[in-house]
Amino acid sequence: MALKNTHKRVLKSLVKTTVTIWAIYYVWSHIDSAKMIETLNRANLWWVFAAFIAFNLSKITSSLRLNYYFRAIGIRLGEWLNLKLYYIGMFYNLFLPGGIGGDGYKAYLLQKRYDTGYKAIISSLLLDRISGMVALLFFAGVLYFFSGFKLIFDSLTPLVTLALLLILPLNYILTERFFSRLMSVFIPTTIYAFTVQLLQLISALCIVYSLPIEGIYLVDYLLLFLVSSVVAILPISIGGIGVRELTFLYGFSIIGADSITAVTFSLIFFLITALSSLMGAFFGESYK
- Kindly report, residue by residue over 3-27, the tens digit of the pLDDT: 455 556 666 667 667 766 776 666 6
**Which DSSP letter does residue 217 get?**
G
Sequence-ordered list of residues with C-beta below 8 angstroms from that of 15, at least 6 positions apart, any chain: 236
Asked whether the beta carbons of 261 and 212 are under 8 A apart, the reply is yes
For the entire predicted model, the pTM comes to 0.88
In 101-185, where does DSSP find H-type helix?
102-114, 118-144, 149-152, 157-178
pLDDT of residue 193: 96
Q: Can you give the pLDDT of all 288 residues of the chain as single tens digits?
A: 544 555 566 666 676 677 667 766 666 666 667 777 888 888 899 999 999 999 999 999 999 999 999 999 988 888 998 999 899 888 887 766 544 567 777 888 888 888 888 888 899 999 999 999 999 999 999 999 999 889 888 999 999 999 999 999 999 999 999 999 999 999 999 999 999 999 999 999 999 999 887 666 788 889 988 988 888 776 666 656 667 777 777 777 777 667 788 788 888 998 899 899 888 887 765 555
Sequence-ordered list of residues with C-beta below 8 angstroms from that of 22, at least 6 positions apart, any chain: 242
Mean pLDDT of the chain: 84
